[in-house]
Structures are given as C-alpha cells and as structure tokens.
Structure 1
Amino acid sequence: MPFYCIIWYKIAGYRSQLFINLKGKASKGLEIGIGTSPNLKYHISGNAVFVFGVNPNTKMEKYAWAAALAAGLLKEKFKFVQVVGESLPLDDASADAVVATLVLCSVTDVDMALKGI
C-alpha cells in the first residue's frame, strides 16, 4: 500500500469526527481544493442543497463527480469549477460552510484565499 493511502486510512476516523457537527446542517457548501473529494462522504447528507467544488486541476473533476454521486448528491446539486483558492467565483454569504483540508499549503496567497472564504 502506498504511503499516502496509509495516511488517509489512518485519519479516516479523525476526519469523520471532524465533520460530525457539519453533517446535515449546511445546505450550501463550498470545498476548496476538492480534488478527488474524499471529504464529501463525511459532511454531505440528503438535505444538502448544493455543493460547489473548486480545484485548479481539471483532471480532478471526474473523481470529484464520482465522489459526489457516491455521497448521494444529485447531479444538479454539485458543480466543479477549475479555479484557484485565491479567486473564488462565489458571492459573499453564498455558502453555509467551507471545507478546506490539505489545500492551503498549495495556495500561493493564503491571506487572499482566507479573505475570499
């Protein structure tokens, strides 16, 4: 098993606990650096109205879509947009929750990304 797989496996329990208070409470979510969407299964529930996933790498889109559908999101409730975290294409107060894990280390301007959030 590759090293990164071991890390993800080891933190799965922690990740589940981290998102337990979010699950079912946010109807509109934004995930920055959604990548392959490993977080969706932890914080999405049937009442989610919409999840907006952003990532600068378009090759992640097919994985994000697969994870969104596996998490129970309907096609019309998920949108993937190729963009960097410093340039979020959302209006103010348009999301109830923002998820950003293992991503800010790759953001060029962390302050700008956090201001956007």
Structure 2
Amino acid sequence: MTSFLRRFAVPATLISLGVPVCLYTFARLNPEKATAYYKPVFLWLCARLKRFNQKRFSTLKDDIFSGLKEQDGTSLQVLEIGSGKGTNFEYFPPRTSVIVVDPNPHSKLDFEENSRQYPDVKVTKFVVAGAEDMADVAEGSVDAVVCTLVLCSVHDVDAVLGEVKRVLKPGGKFYYLEHVRHPTLARVQYLQDRFNPVFYSLGGGCNINRDTWKNIDNAGFSNVKYKMEDNIRPKFMFNMLYGTATK
C-alpha cells in the first residue's frame, strides 16, 4: 500500500500544482478570453470563500460597527458606499437613515429586496455615482460613512477618502473593512503581486495588493484606528484591514 501511494504521490502533486499554473498562465496571456471563460466560475468561487469565512467576517463587523450603536440612533444619518445587497443593514441601529452610493443602478433592486428584512433602517436616497465623486451628497451632511470590500476596486482610493471627509460632519466617523496587501509576509506579498492581474481582470477591477491603510493614514483624518486580521483563508486574498477614521 505504501509503495502504491508513493508511486502516485509525484503525479498527484504535479497535477495539483500544474492546473492552477496553467490557468494563471492562460489568464495572463489571454486576458479577454480568460474573462469570458473564467469570470462566472471565479465570482462563484469568491462568493463561496466569503460564505466559508462568513462567521469570521461577522465577528469583524461586530467589532467595527459597535461604534455606530454609540451614536444617536434617533437621527443617525449613514452613507454607505457600495451597499451590494444591504448585508450591513443588520449592524445599523434602529431608526438609522441611509444614503446609498453605488455606480451600478441595477444593484438597487438587490439591496431593496434584502433591506425589507430591516424595516427600522430607512433608505432615503440612492445615488448612482462612483465613490470618487459624490457631488449629489451635500458637504458635512452625514454622521457616518460605511465602506466594506469596496476600496479594493475603486479607481482612486485617495479621491474616495477625500469625498468621505467632505460629506462627513465634524467628528463623523468612517467605518471600513477591506482586504489589503499583507504588511509583513514576503511570500504572501509575492503571491498577491503575481495573482493581482487575474483578480483584476476577473473580479471587476478588484486589487488584492493595495496598501490601503497608508492611504487612510495620509488622508488627513483627526484620528485613525485600525486592526489587521490574517486568520482568514486563503491568506493571500483575505488579509483584512478594518477600523474607523474620525473627521
């Protein structure tokens, strides 16, 4: 039995390593075809990974959004950038008013359907726009800005943070959760750099190697707090940055 396993150990290893290498090479050499062929499978896989890590993500969100409960829920005005299906609504205090900013007008139907589960959260405005230019949101008009898993795919992180500061009231808070470049592990950084073109082309412009905490540190907030979490699989994709920044 031992000799049998040894005989097939090397071919099995080569196949397990060869398949992702071949897929990666094809994606780099044929980005347009790769997008057409791989994108549905890639997005399905990412969704499965998020669900696999859902318990851990929920723990991080409980930590991040605990500050929202300390603000005045009777008049709390939140702006959420890229709300998706409204999965963050469960963390908003009752009687919260929400402005949603999203470049995809079709996402409105998704989040409206999900938001019915949270009748105490009222969506007052849906703005179709990129986060780099939220001109339809008045300066100094919101108590909090929420942004989860969005800064990885915006065109200009610094421009988004500038808009976040503009729309926040003095003392308002920016709540964020993002996957970022690993700050210390060289082997993880290497994988992130190598696979970033694949994630970018198949994941709707998603980048897995951004130093987003540096952008937040340099954005001019009066107080920045964040933590790192790398105990989420796969580590090269889900090194998480989460915290708050106060105007």
Instruction: State the TM-score, normalized to the length of structure 2.
Output: 0.42
Runs of 4+ in 1 over 3 A off after TM superposition: none
Q: Deviations over 1:42-88 (max 9, x none)?
A: 1x22232x20011112222112112333222465x432222111111
User: Which SS does the other structure have where 1:93 is aligned?
Assistant: coil
Question: Is 1:100 the equivalent of 2:147?
Answer: yes
- TM-fit CA distance, 1:6: 1.3
Q: Percent identity?
A: 31
For the aligned residues, what is the CA RMSD?
Answer: 2.0
Whichever of the two has the greater Rg, that structure is 2
Partner of residue 52, structure 2 = 6
* Structure 1 alignment gaps of length 5 or more: none
Change (3 A) 1:98 1:74: closer
Question: Is 1:51 the equivalent of 2:98?
Answer: yes
| Higher deviation after alignment, 93-102 or 12-21 | 12-21
User: Which SS does the other structure have where 2:145 is aligned?
Assistant: strand
CA distance in 2, matches of 1:78, 1:103: 21
CA distance in 2, matches of 1:25, 1:66: 27
Q: Deviations over 1:82-117 (max 9, x none)?
A: 211111121111100000111011110111111111
Partner of residue 21, structure 1 = 67
Name the structure where helix makes up a greater proportion of residues.
Answer: 2
Name the structure where strand makes up a greater proportion of residues.
Answer: 2
Aligned residue-pair number: 114
Instruction: State the TM-score, normalized to the length of structure 1.
Output: 0.83
- TM-fit CA distance, 1:5: 1.3
Larger RCO (CA within 8 A; separation ≥ 6) = 1
CA distance in 1, matches of 2:88, 2:132: 21
CA distance in 1, matches of 2:82, 2:161: 13
